[in-house]
Amino acid sequence: MKKVLPQQIYSEFHKWRTWKSQKIFPKRIVNFDKIFEKNPEAKTACEKFAQFINRNNGMIDYKIFIKACILNNDNNYVNINIINNKKSIGVYKKYIKRIRESDDELEQRFLDSLTFVIKYCVEFNITFDEYCSEGAYGYPTLLKHYNAGSIDVVFLIAIPGFIYILEQYQEDIIHDFFDIDDFLKYSERIAMKINLCDNFKKWKKIIYNINKLIIKYKEKQKAKKVNQVNQVNQVNQKK
């Protein structure tokens, strides 16, 4: 995956710290150099955390990690050094587990997972089938992202033939990195909610056609880049 930058770390931290204290999301930060110049402690903390995230290469979702650290802190104003506190890893893991054990916002959790997977497939120019088989003889990308919280149990449940996908992975890997009992427990509980029957059908259909969505998103990103280049050219012509 692309390297996470200190600026992305600070932007996410600023977003959730502002939400926690004011219940609003702040405007997008433009001048990071000015912020880091005024607050070298924040720059150092973000650089250290970015290195930690990049070393783990997809095993930790920095956005969820930061959100968990801030929302689970009792203080109204959270110091940025909390993201580098060793205890924060435990907070992050507990946060992911609590979300999985919840019946709240299931559709949004599915859509967030879908968006993450589509963006990943576009970034690496792969299909969804290739995504599911990536790293099959080591630590499978699908399970890595599941453990990181980047994709939710609701998404896995909606994948047609997910159990058959698991079978292509090495048995010791599944044992070490995927709790099948927890997965079945979550599946049964969620499936028992009557109002989800129609949603399951819809989600399965979406995943069945996910490669079309990947292509569509790729074309959209390509058109966006072309538009940006054209805008730059127009500005240069006016000079």
Q: What is the pLDDT of residues 1-23, one digit of tens each?
A: 689 999 999 999 999 999 988 88
* pLDDT for res 235: 59
* pLDDT for res 199: 76
Joined together, the tokens standing for residue 204 give: 């399965």
pTM of the full predicted structure? 0.85
Name which residue leads in pLDDT, 153 or 65.
65
CA distances from 74 to 15, 21, 33, 45 (A): 17, 11, 30, 21
Domain ranges of the chain: 1-100, 103-239
* pLDDT for res 61: 95
60 φ/ψ angles, rounded to the nearest 5 degrees: -130, 130
- Please state, in angstroms and rounded to a whole number, the distance separating the CA atoms of residues 79 and 141: 32
- The alpha carbon torsion through 58, 53, 5, 20 (nearest 10 deg) reads 100
- Please state, in angstroms and rounded to a whole number, the distance separating the CA atoms of residues 205 and 37: 50
- Please write the tens of the pLDDT for every residue from 90-105: 999 999 988 888 877 8
Joined together, the tokens standing for residue 83 give: 């993201």
With bands split at pLDDT 50, 70 and 90, how would you rate the model's confidence at 203? confident
* pLDDT for res 193: 66
- Please state, in angstroms and rounded to a whole number, the distance separating the CA atoms of residues 90 and 221: 36
Kindly report the number of other CB atoms within 10 A of residue 49's CB atom. Answer: 24
Joined together, the tokens standing for residue 214 give: 């990947």
**Max CA distance (Å), the chain:** 64
Supply the mean pLDDT for the chain.
88
* Pure H helices in the chain: 6-22, 32-38, 40-56, 62-71, 87-100, 106-124, 128-133, 141-148, 153-158, 162-166, 171-177, 180-191, 197-208, 210-238
Highest mean pLDDT among 88-102, 115-129, 196-210: 115-129
